[in-house]
Structure formats: C-alpha cells, structure tokens
A and B are shown apart, each in its own frame.
Chain A
Amino acid sequence: EVQVLESGGGLVQPGGSLRLSCAASGFTFRSYAMSWVRQAPGKGLEYVSAISGGGGSTYYADSVKGRFTISRDSSKNTLYLQMNSLRAEDTAIYYCAKPGSSISFNTQGYYFDYWGQGTLVTVSS
C-alpha cells in the first residue's frame, strides 16, 4: 500500500526555519519525482517545489525561491523541505505528493495520485 507521511510542522517566528519530512512507502521511491504542495488556511492549492527521482533537478515556485530547499534521501525513502526566512504568508498545510507515473516533474501528465495527510506550518510572532 502506498503511503506518504509528512512531519515537522509547527509554530515558528517570522524569519525562522523549519524542516519538513515526508516518509514514503509502498512504491519505488527513487523512481518518482516528488513534490510539495501547500494550502493556506481557507485557500486553494499552490505548487511549491519538486525534485527529480535522482535528486539532480529541482523546481521552486517564485514565492519560495531562495528560501526553501527540497532534497531527498532514497536510502531512507524520505523527502525533505528545508524552509528558511519564513514569512507569515508561508503559513499553510504542506502536502507531500506522489505522481501517478514515474515521469519527470515537468513532463506533461504529472498528476498527483497520492497525498500525505499534510503538516501545518504556522509563522507567527
């Protein structure tokens, strides 16, 4: 059974840092480009970051570029999101999402077939 489970969220002050983790199981993790999608309270979905299966290619939305770093450890089947210089507008539930096929994250047809339960990040003083 495919599972993705996020952790690491919490309350942090503006300017602070947090590292999110996503533990994956039930599929060949290293074969899949993985993504982070966030949802601000009461708002829609925003595609934040992605990383290739091998870890050599990454993507960041303009809203987080230069502040967030995505990485993965295939020996641990875990995806990470290091978040620095956090702002109030980063407050959101962060979801780890797996695509339906083992294609590159920027290839047409990249849909999300499994999502974690999400982890809440609150940036506030």
Chain B
Amino acid sequence: DIQMTQSPSSVSASVGDRVTITCRASQGFSSWLAWYQQKPGKAPKLLIYAASSLQSGVPSRFSGSGSGTDFTLTISSLQPEDFATYYCQQANTFPWTFGQGTKVEIK
C-alpha cells in the first residue's frame, strides 16, 4: 500500500496567515490526490481533487499542487472557519490511503 505522510502534524497560525501543508507519498504518481477538511464532530469534506482541482463551493483561498511524491495544500489567507484537521488521500493505487492528518490551530 502507498503510505501518505503529512507534515507538519500540527500548525499554529493566525487569521490572515498563509498556511501550507505537505503530503508525501511512499511511491510517486501523477495527480491522483485529494485533500479533505474535518472539523470536530463532523465528517470530512472534500476540498481538492486531482491534486489541484477545487471542489464546487470551496473558497478560492484553498489551492493544491504537486505531483510525484510531494503534494501541498495552501490556504492563502486563513479564516476563522478554516481551523480544522486536514487529510490527504491518494487515489492512484488501490487500496486508497490517507495521510495521518494536520491540525490547524489558532495561534
């Protein structure tokens, strides 16, 4: 199985900050990667798919990039509602696997 490793595990940031989360795959692939946001007590929500495509309804401050083994999720200007845990998921090689999560906390 492909292992997905996210860094950092947690990040403290302020409203308005630019935040970047990295997801590294144990094997390289093109762009079959998704990012999800999960708030406490809620289900994950799809933000980005195909590494850089924004899911309908997701604010444009979220963006994704990368290919090969390194992928990034960037929040250009952190908003109060963005404090949550973020997960990457590879959809290149079955079975699908998730990163361990990155918690974005208020500084």
User: Could you list which residues of chain A lie within 8 angstroms of chain B, going by C-beta atoms?
Assistant: 44-47, 59, 61, 95, 100, 105-106, 108-113, 115-118
CB contact under 8 A between A110 and B96, given known A95-B43, A115-B43, A115-B44: yes
Q: Which of B44, B46, B95, B98 has the most CB of A within 10 A?
A: B95
Apart from A44-B101, A113-B55, what are 10 other A-B pairs with CB-CB below 8 Å? A44-B99, A45-B36, A45-B98, A105-B94, A106-B94, A108-B32, A108-B92, A109-B49, A112-B46, A115-B43
A47 cross-chain contacts in B, Cβ below 8 A: 95-98
B98 cross-chain contacts in A, Cβ below 8 A: 44-47
- How many chain B residues sit at the interface, stated as a range, is 20 to 34
B50 cross-chain contacts in A, Cβ below 8 A: 109
For the complex, give the distance between the alpha carbons of A52 and B8 in Å.
36
Give the secondary structure class of B's interface. loop
0/1 interface trace, chain B 44-88, chain A, CB 8 Å (1 if under)? 111001100001000000000000000000000000000000010
Top-6 shortest CB links A-B:
A115-B43, A106-B94, A45-B98, A111-B34, A111-B49, A44-B100
Q: How far is the CB of B43 from chain A (nearest CB, A)?
A: 4
Partner of A118, one of B43, B55, B94, B101: B43
0/1 interface trace, chain B 6-36, chain A, CB 8 Å (1 if under)? 0000000000000000000000000010101
Are A116 and B43 in contact (CB-based, < 8 A)?
A: yes
Are B97 and A112 in contact (CB-based, < 8 A)?
A: no
Are B95 and A111 in contact (CB-based, < 8 A)?
A: no
Q: Which residue of B lies closest to A48 (CB)?
A: B95
Are A61 and B95 in contact (CB-based, < 8 A)?
A: yes
For the complex, give the distance between the alpha carbons of A111 and B36 in Å.
10
A113 cross-chain contacts in B, Cβ below 8 A: 46, 49, 55
For the complex, give the distance between the alpha carbons of A108 and B98 in Å.
15
